[in-house]
A = this chain, B = another copy of it.
Amino acid sequence: MEFRAGKYSKEFEYSYASGFFPVFELLKHRPECVLKVVFSSKAKTSEGAEKLRRLCLEKQIPSSVDDKLLVRISPKENVFAAGMFRKYYSPIQKSGAQLVLNCPENAGNLGTIIRTMIGFNACDIALIRPAVDIFDPACVRASMGGLFQANFSYFDSFEDYLKEHPKRNVYLFMTSGEKSVRQAEFQRPVSLVFGSESSGLPEDFKKYGKSVFIPQSNNIDSLNVSVAAGIGLYEAGKHA
């Protein structure tokens, strides 16, 4: 099979996981989607590469040394291994904790949030458009491959999300929230909702559920969204 692989574009039907750890996660959780694994000539005899090559043989996935492809995928960083995979559909489930991001802008933040979700046993993430592409290699990378354990769905509006997922306990994280996250009860099934990097959640989202704030000083505008989501998941996890 030949792939005209290069710098990623969201129109592609495939994407890349770069770095040994994310590639192992890809092979473990989505082996049916893997098209190809490539190594850097610098790493081809490393322990990680040997282990990965054996795994590819076992799962009948093509693997090869391909420095040129690695440079095309990631021109700025030294990447020693990458996995090319077909994009897939893995929609969120009705039960269990859900994280909702309204108009996320940054692929790195999205990936970091997914990594944290998986760390706190939440697998389902809803993205309200306009939203960054979850298969952006920067997201895959920042998730450390956690993406391959996650389910995700896109919605055109928060109301569309609620229509498909009614009867949830919705907690809206806003600096102007009514209750401290420390006092929130986080009744299940929980939906934790966070706004965009540039503007947070609109005030009128308060009608959709309980608004909560993370106690913080006035010396910053707000916390980074991936830090806020980490604290939200951590607190909600106490009530699990």
Q: Which residues of A contact B (CB under 8 A)?
A: 21, 108, 112, 115-116, 118-121, 142, 144, 146, 149, 182, 214-217, 219-224, 226-228, 230-231, 234, 237-238
Contacts and interface: CB of A to CB of B under 8 A. Distances in A.
A110 to B, nearest CB: 12
5 contacts: A112-B224, A112-B226, A112-B227, A120-B217, A144-B220
Contact of A118 (B115, B215, B220): B220
Contact of A237 (B119, B215, B222): B215
B226 A226 contact: yes
Contact of A221 (B21, B182, B227, B234): B21
Report the 9 A-B pairs with minimum CB-CB distance, sorted nearest first.
A227-B230, A119-B216, A119-B220, A112-B224, A121-B217, A118-B219, A231-B234, A118-B220, A116-B227
Number of chain copies forming the complex: 2
Contact of A226 (B146, B217, B224, B238): B224
Nearest to A237: B215
A228 B33 CA distance: 31
A119 B223 contact: yes
Given A214-B234, A234-B214, A223 B116 contact: yes
Contacts of A231: 230-231, 234
A108 B146 CA distance: 20
A224 B121 contact: no
Nearest to A109: B112
Contacts of A118: 217, 219-220
A119 B227 CA distance: 11
Contacts of A221: 21, 144
A238 B116 CA distance: 22
Contact of A219 (B108, B149, B220, B226): B149
Contact of A119 (B21, B119, B142, B219): B219
Interface centre among A146, A227, A230 (most CB of B within 10 A): A227
Contacts of A234: 214, 231, 234
A223 B237 CA distance: 15
Nearest to A238: B182
Nearest to A122: B217
B182 A220 contact: no
